Amino acid sequence: MPALGAADASIAIVGLAPGRNGANRTGRAFTGDDSGALLFAVLEKLGLLHAGEPRDVLIVNAVRCLPPENRPSPAEVHACRPFLAGQLRAPITVALGEIAHQSAVKALGGKLPKLRFAHGAEHRLPKGQLLLDSYHCSRYNQHTGRLTEAMLTAVFARALSLREALHVGDREAPGDGTAAAAPAAIRDI
């Protein structure tokens, strides 16, 4: 599955793997299923998606191909890590789920278990990149309430805040895609 978005984006999003009924079917990361619907709704709300296309965001998965039983083995995650490492050039990365977190940490030169996964956690990696964690936006996590739209929005609003503080990314967008827009986007949740 190819990455979706610009290679020079200031925010990278790492998912788990193409979903059987979503990206594997459509050929585009996080499209065609409940995970993508929530992720894209949050990105659009915060100005990080325009006309269905990521804006200053790169979306990539820890595993490039649909894994058997829809859950990748450690060997599959390891085999795909060099590809992930080649994609993660953004100063800010958001990991969706623990496996994405672990793979991103290793791809960016960090150490496990020192950098543990926790929803809302922030980690500074050896080369200065920032890693933010979120529960994965899977249908299961949405339906059980483990991840709500407000929780996911808060993580991406924080990513926008950090992007602005680092003086990187698309701050030229009129009224959207800035940390200033983030509070307006989350006040109604």
Kindly report the backbone phi and psi dihedral angles of residue 32, in degrees, each rounded to the nearest multiple of 5, phi listed first.
90, 10
| pLDDT mean values, one per 10 residues, the chain (189 residues) | 90 86 65 86 95 93 80 90 96 97 96 92 94 96 97 98 89 46 38
The hierarchical CATH code for the domain 4-186 is: 3.40.470.10
Instruction: Say what the pLDDT of residue 82 is.
Output: 95
CB count within 10 Å of CB 145 equals 8
DSSP 20-76: TTTHHHHSSTT-SSHHHHHHHHHHHHTTSEETTEESSEEEEESSSSPPGGGS--HHH
Instruction: Say what the pLDDT of residue 20 is.
Output: 62
Instruction: Say what the pLDDT of residue 69 is.
Output: 73
> If you search the block for the tokens 């890590």, which residue do you land on?
81
Give CA torsion, residues 80, 97, 71, 148, to 10 deg.
Answer: -140
Report the alpha-carbon distance of residue 117 to residue 55 in Å, rounded.
26
